[in-house]
Structure 1
Amino acid sequence: MATVKTQAHCLLAGAAAAAACAWPWAQASLAADFIHHTALAATIGGLADWWGVTALFKRPMGVNAPGTDVLRNNYERLTTGLADFVSNDLLTAENVMQAVGDENFAKLLLAHFAQQQNVERLWQTVRPLAEHALQSLNTRQAEQLLLQELPKYIASLRIPEILVDALQKAVANGSFNGLWQLAAQDSKQILHKAEFTALLEGLAQMAEEEYNKDSLLRNLFVSGQAAKLVPLFVQELEKTLDALADPASELRRQLDNWLLARMEDYRHDIAFADWLNGKLSQMATAKALAFKELLQTQDVDILLQLLQNRLQLLANSEVEQGKLDHALKELLLQVLTMQHDTVYDLVLHKLQSYDKDDLIAKMELRVGDDLQNIRKSGTCIGGLLGAVLFVIATLAERLVS
Structure 2
Amino acid sequence: MRRVATGLLVAMAALFLLSRRLHDVHSGWGYVQAFAEAAMVGGLADWFAVTALFRHPLGVPIPHTAIVPRNKDRIGDTLAAFLRDNFLTAHIVARRMRRFDLALAAGRWLADPLARSGRLRHGASRLAVSMLEALDPEQFGTTVRGALANRMRAWPVAPTLGRTLTTLVEGDRHLPLIDAVVRWTAKTLDANEDMVRDMIRKRAGSVLRWTGLDETLANSVLNGLRKMLDEVAADPAHPLRAKANEGLALLAHDLQHSPELQAKVERFKNELLDNPAVAAWWMGVWERIRAAMLAHARDPDRALNGPIGEALRQLGATLQSDAVLRAKVNRFARRAVVGGIADYGDGIVRLVSDTVRGWDAATITLRLENAVGRDLQYIRINGTLVGGLVGLVIHVVDVWL
Question: What is the TM-score normalised by the length of structure 2?
Answer: 0.49
